[in-house]
Amino acid sequence: MNIILLSGGSGKRLWPLSNEIRSKQFIKIFKNENDEYESMVQRMYRHIKEIDSEANVTIATSKTQVSAINNQLGDVNVGISVEPSRRDTFPAIALATAYLHDVQHVSEEDAVVVCPVDPYVEDDYFEALKNLSQQAEKGEASLVLMGIEPTYPSEKYGYIIPNTKDNVSDVSTFKEKPNYDTAKKYIAQGALWNGGVFAYKLKYVLEIARKLLNYTDYEDLYQRYDTLTKISFDYAVVEKEKKIQVMRFSGAWKDLGTWNTLTEAMTENVIGEGMMNDECKNVHILNELNVPVLAMGLKDVVISASPDGILVSDKEQSSMIKPFVDSMNQQIMFAEKSWGSFQILDVEEDSRTIKIALNPGHSMNYHSHMHRDEVWVVLSGEGTTIVDGMEQHVSVGDVITMQAGCRHTVQAITELKMVEVQLGKDISVHDKQKFSLE
């Protein structure tokens, strides 16, 4: 089974736990069978592999999310189709499909399933993905969509109206996101939610993409990606296709796009350091800070704290957070990288203090800065530093100093935690030059 997971989103509706780099799919709030917290990305990948150990998984995402994906999935065999810029779902799916064919050498006759990376679903959903792929392999239709049995008259989703009530049916028509009363009428007609899950043979989308985008191969499409017109897959493909089937899915399916819906899926009321008294009702605390959070006498409230900020909100009102977050001009204070993570502890005019955690066996790029000096203090673990070619073993308590222009890197032997102090008049993320380490 070939699967393309669409991993997008700006991360604003779940601020402060998410930001432009860490979207909602990377927040670790779900417990696995080992009683460890995992994110939506980790949960989705794990379930796919449990249902089909040979599944070929490709994640279509932006450049800003690649490090977080590598950090959370580690060394597993997952393809990453990187979008150089945001161009909506049709260019993203076309690029990922070309990646499968030209880079991974998947046959044009093979089917691929496309689905979002972030719904909250159970085991039966992954069985349904497998069935969807098998239905597409039959070639009875150009597209096979998953139609989700609606549980209420939602105004958030488009609707699919099938010709029959069979498990697999031809599609009669599509309906845009309706108001509440119209949604009730659609459901009375047997309509299904359109959750953005569908399957096709590679050659189908490749042919459309070559025609509309006029490219030769994956590399050509990637190089010209920034010039492509923004257009959705529904508008470019679905609305113009006559041969479409829909496969019913009646299992659990939730779009966890707001704090209200996210907390509904949580199995615990408190994650992190927090407590509440007995008078609290329907209150959730998610705390990433090393300070306690206490809630008393609250009802229907979410409290979320991270290095980026603190949110205290009525759950229903929390869906209106985006314009307030848009108005903030705030530096990202925490991010996951392919080698580990960093958290900014303090920012002054001529200095910045950062806590760094490197995963065992991982290292930073060999790099230099022109406008700042740096000091590393090892807090825990062991590693190896290379400063202007000189290699040195480091452990707890060691201090490493690097002047501006000095080339440096560090590799973790065990998990390595350090405090990095940056000193200079012009501290910027753009002040970095990378070098190969010979």
pLDDT value for 16: 93
What predicted TM-score, i.e. pTM, was given to this entire model? Answer: 0.85
Lowest mean pLDDT among 172-181, 209-218, 351-360, 379-388: 172-181
Q: Among 210, 230, 255, give the residue marking a domain's end.
A: 255
CB 318 within 8 A of CB 258: yes
User: Quick one: tokens of 259?
Assistant: 């704090």
In a shared domain, residues 246 and 106: yes
Do the domain assignments include residue 327?
A: no
Alpha helices in 86-243 (DSSP H): 89-98, 123-138, 180-188, 202-213, 218-223, 233-236
Each residue of 409-421: b (16+ CB within 10 Å) or e? bbbbeebbbbebb
**Residues 269, 249 share a domain:** no
Of 34, 61, 59, 37, nearest in space to 48 by CA: 59
Final residue before a domain boundary, out of 255, 287, 307 = 255
- Regarding whether 24 and 165 lie in a shared domain, the answer is yes
What pLDDT shows up at residue 90? 95
Residues 167 and 60 in one domain: yes
Query: Are the C-beta atoms of residues 383 and 362 closer than 8 Å to each other?
Result: no
How confident is the model at residue 346, as a pLDDT?
93
- The DSSP result for 177-210, as a single string, is ---HHHHHHHHHTT-EEEEEEEEEEHHHHHHHHH
**Is 251 in a helix, a strand, or coil?**
coil
- Tell me the percentage of the chain whose pLDDT exceeds 70: 99
Average pLDDT score over the chain: 93
Does 220 share its domain with 367?
Answer: no
Each residue of 150-190: pLDDT tens digit? 989 988 888 999 999 999 999 999 988 889 999 999 999 89
Identity of the highest mean pLDDT range in 187-191, 274-278, 324-328: 274-278
Instruction: Mark whether 54 and 182 lie in a shared domain.
Output: yes
For residue 11, name the pLDDT band (cuts at 50, 70, 90): low
With respect to residue 333, please indicate whether it lies within any of the assigned structural domains.
Answer: no
Q: What is the pLDDT of residue 154?
A: 86
What is the residue range of 285's domain? 259-320
Residues 316 and 395 in one domain: no
Best mean pLDDT range from 177-186, 333-342, 354-363: 354-363
277 lies in the same domain as 249: no
Are 235 and 358 within one domain?
no
- Same domain, yes or no: 376 and 280: no
Q: Do 312 and 424 sit in the same domain of this protein?
A: no
CATH of the domain at 246: 3.90.550.10
In-domain check, residue 329:
no
Whole-number Cα distances in Å, 433 to 91, 321, 342, 429: 31, 37, 19, 11
d(CA 87, CA 82): 12
> What's the pLDDT tens digit per position in 115-149?
999 888 999 999 999 999 999 999 999 999 999 99
What's the domain count of the chain?
3
The answer to which of 56-60, 208-212, 221-225, 252-256 has the lowest mean pLDDT is 252-256
What CATH number is associated with residue 363?
2.60.120.10
Instruction: Enter the tokens of residue 408.
Output: 């440096």
- In this structure, the answer to whether residues 365 and 307 fall within a common structural domain is no
